[in-house]
A and B are shown apart, each in its own frame.
Chain A
């Protein structure tokens, strides 16, 4: 069965510093990978996704992620964090149980705090 691990429960960075959030997945086939952000009281918003092709994908709000098959990783990065980036971040993998659903399996999330 597929699974997603986000090793860091909580990360604190200073505004302007770089950021890397880790994600490891377990999936037998070609993974379809996503990063979502959840702000308090808000729904989940898609930051970026990887389906195939270039392993470095660009997303919204200046985020990027790199797919590394050899490490089963899909880490999220941002070169300079803004205070508004404080939120919870979820990595997810899409899988199909055979019914064509491609439902998402999420990690437990990483909470990002930003120090002004």
Chain B
């Protein structure tokens, strides 16, 4: 079956611009996670959705970052006033539920801020 998909695969933007990154989770998965992977690092947690609500946004670095999941399926990560330090690979993962269930990762969106 179809896995987690993310679009675009690559995004280049100028400092100060607004970007949106999209995640299509596996159908039927209620839990959705966003992670950020900087060069040479492991992924770092950003935000977790259970259904439509952001149940845990403790990993968002500041208020320029925001994410939505309005219908409990597709999620969009939004970054305002991008900075060069935002350059990273943004990973989305979904799972059937939380505890005890595998998180399936998408291929990521590579964001480059020039």
Interface residues of A (CB under 8 A from B): 4, 32, 36, 41-46, 49, 51, 90, 92, 94, 96-97, 99-109
A50 CB, min distance to chain B CBs, angstroms: 12
Question: Closest 3 interchain pairs by CB?
Answer: A106-B42, A99-B56, A101-B48
Min distance, Cβ A1 to any Cβ of chain B, angstroms? 11
Contacts of B102 in A (CB 8 A): 46, 49
Q: Which residues from chain B sit less than 8 Å from chain A, CB to CB?
A: 3-4, 31, 33, 35, 40-45, 48, 50, 55-56, 58-59, 91, 93, 98-100, 102-108
**Chain A contacts of B58 at CB under 8 A?**
97
Residues of chain B with a CB closer than 8 A to A92's CB: 42
Interchain pairs with CB closer than 8 A, number? 68
B91 touches A102 (CB 8 A): no
- How many angstroms between the C-alpha atoms of A12 and B100 in the bound complex? 33
Known: A43-B108, A99-B55. A104 touches B45 (CB 8 A): yes
> Is B56 a contact partner of A101 (Cβ separation < 8 A)?
yes
Q: How far is the CA of A83 from the CA of B44 in the complex (A)?
A: 29
What separation, in Å, do the CA atoms of A90 and B91 have in the docked complex? 14
Report B29 CB to chain A, min CB distance, Å: 14
Query: Are A90 and B42 touching (Cβ within 8 A)?
Result: yes
Contact in complex: A43, B105 (CB < 8 Å)? yes
Residues of B within 8 A of A41 (CB): 107
If A44-B105, A105-B45 touch, whether A100 touches B91 (CB-CB below 8 Å) is no
Complex interface: chain B residues within 8 A of A4 (CB) = 42
**A103 with B48: CB separation less than 8 A:** yes
Q: How far is the CA of A102 from the CA of B55 in the complex (A)?
A: 11
